[in-house]
């Protein structure tokens, strides 16, 4: 018990990630190790992007998923990139395509995303995938929103009829997450807050679940959190103090009922959910897995 009265549970990502990867591994073994392939497309030599792509290939290799790596130089043209993505889109032995974002500014990311067939869109970023999410039809859900859902499920955090405040409305995280949480079967009552929202503190105080995805370091404090509420920190900011989240954990602990650690929380889920989407992509394309 904390001096402020509530023993805040830590929603660690590691056991959730491990359980998800283990279940995918078993699914692949039970299917007799069918060929499943994930292709990544990396343009340029941005070092965080290179690291992210490498971690995705490592996770794939550990599950027995084959990797295709396409790497283009920083100055690659739109036509060159489109040629590569089109070839992957047409290649029946490639089940998932991930174009690492952000692309260099001279490239049109929307046109590239539009070339990825919905069933191969393991990042869940295309108009088709976002449309399916809104329609509630089967499709790939973005890895970070899906990771948040998997965390809530694993730790039995009730969502039905609960008020969830999602802070941040990007098409990568906040917007799809708000749609996902409101879906039939998950059934949260969702408020989507953003940079123009008034009275954010008051709004968050009425929430059972607060999910922050703004990239504003330590901006969510104990003053935002109702006693016992669940707090999910998606933000990642590199500061002089190192990598920090959107949540001021020191101030929130002892008030929240549960809180994701940073690091070690939501960030661990993203690659695991990419693997989930890749296995599902193969199944959608006729692989018996
Ligand atoms: P983004 O910049 O595209 O969107 C940020 C959103 O936050 C915007 O919608 C904006 O309106 C809102 N916002 C900004 N300042 C605000 C404020 N003061 N009050 C309320 N809302 C505010 O960013 P993104 O791509 O959605 O990423 C958000 C954060 O999540 C970043 O820190 C990013 O690094 C992190 N991220 C983490 C993971 C993960 O695996 N945990 C994955 C993707 C992104």
> What is the per-residue pLDDT across 194-223, written as a single tens digit (0 to 9) for each?
999 999 999 999 999 999 999 999 999 999
**CB atoms closer than 10 angstroms to residue 171:** 12
pLDDT recorded at residue 78: 98
Comparing C-alpha atoms, which of 199, 250, 260, 252 is closest to residue 226?
Answer: 252
Shortest-distance Cα residue to atom 17 of ligand 1: 195
Which residue among 98, 148, 173, 239 has the greatest number of ligand 1 atoms within 8 angstroms of its CB, and so is best to mutate?
173
pLDDT in tens, 51-110: 999 999 999 999 999 999 999 999 999 999 999 999 999 999 999 999 999 999 999 999
> What is the 213 CA–ligand 1 centroid distance (Å)?
4
pLDDT above 90 (res 253): yes
What mean pLDDT comes out for the span 268-289? 97
Q: Which pLDDT score is estimated for 5?
A: 82
Catalytic residue list contains 196: no
Residue 286 has pLDDT above 80, yes or no: yes
Fold of 143-268: Rossmann fold (3.40.50)
Q: How far is the CA of 262 from the centre of ligand 1 (A)?
A: 15
pLDDT at 152: 98
pLDDT tens, position by position, 35-64: 999 999 999 998 889 999 999 999 999 999
123 Cα to the center of ligand 1, angstroms? 17
* Residues 83/111, Cβ–Cβ less than 8 Å: no
**Residues framing ligand 1 (Cβ under 6 A):** 144, 167-170, 172-174, 193-195, 197, 200, 213-216, 219, 234-237, 266-267, 270
> What's the confidence (pLDDT) of residue 241?
86
The residues that bridge with 189 in the sheet, in sequence order, are 163
Residue 202 φ/ψ, nearest 5 degrees: -60, -40
Q: Is 56 a catalytic residue?
A: yes
- State the pLDDT at residue 235: 97
- Say whether 280 sits in a helix, a strand or coil: helix
The average pLDDT across 224-233 equals: 98
Average pLDDT over all residues of the chain: 97
- All structural domains of the chain with their residue ranges: 32-119, 143-268
Which of 52, 169, 195 maximizes ligand 1 atoms within 8 Å of its Cβ, making it the mutation to test the pocket?
A: 195
- Annotated catalytic residue within 120, 121, 123, 132: 123
Q: What is the mean pLDDT of residues 124-138?
A: 97
Residue 123 known to be catalytic:
yes
The pLDDT value recorded for residue 3 is: 58
Task: Supply the CATH classification number for the domain 32-119.
Answer: 3.40.50.10860
* Predicted pLDDT at 2: 57
Q: Which atom of ligand 1 is nearest to the CA of 171?
A: 26
Report, as an integer, the average pLDDT of 146-156: 98
Residue identifier of the C-alpha nearest atom 5 of ligand 1: 214
Alpha helical stretches, state H, the chain: 13-30, 47-63, 78-90, 109-113, 127-135, 143-154, 174-182, 200-205, 249-252, 267-284
Task: Count CB-CB contacts under 10 A for residue 277.
Answer: 27
């Amino acid at each position: 018990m904390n001096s402020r009265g509530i023993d805040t549970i830590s929603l660690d990502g590691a056991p959730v990630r491990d359980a998800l990867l283990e279940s995918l591994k078993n699914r692949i073994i039970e299917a007799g190790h069918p060929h499943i392939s994930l292709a990544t497309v990396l343009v340029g030599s941005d070092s965080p992007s290179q690291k992210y792509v490498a971690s995705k290939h490592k996770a794939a290799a550990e599950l027995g998923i084959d990797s295709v790596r396409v790497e283009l130089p920083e100055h690659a043209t739109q036509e060159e990139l489109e040629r590569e993505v089109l070839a992957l889109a047409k290649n029946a032995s490639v089940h998932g395509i991930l174009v690492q974002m952000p692309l260099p500014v001279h490239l049109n990311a929307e046109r590239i995303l539009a070339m990825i067939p919905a069933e191969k869109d393991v990042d869940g970023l295309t108009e088709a995938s976002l449309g399916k999410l809104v329609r509630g039809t089967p499709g790939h859900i973005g890895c970070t929103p899906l990771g948040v859902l998997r965390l809530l499920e694993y730790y039995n955090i009730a969502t039905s009829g609960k008020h969830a405040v999602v802070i941040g409305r990007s098409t990568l995280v906040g917007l799809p997450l708000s749609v996902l949480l409101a879906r039939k079967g998950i059934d949260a009552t969702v408020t989507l807050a953003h940079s123009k929202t008034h009275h954010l503190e008051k709004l968050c105080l009425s929430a059972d679940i607060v999910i922050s995805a703004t990239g504003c370091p330590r901006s969510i404090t104990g003053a935002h959190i109702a006693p016992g509420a669940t707090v999910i920190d998606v933000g990642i900011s590199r500061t002089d103090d190192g990598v920090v989240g959107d949540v001021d954990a020191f101030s929130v602990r002892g008030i929240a009922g549960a809180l994701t650690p940073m690091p070690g929380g939501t960030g661990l889920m993203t690659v695991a959910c990419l693997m989930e989407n890749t296995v599902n992509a193969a199944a959608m394309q006729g692989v018996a897995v």
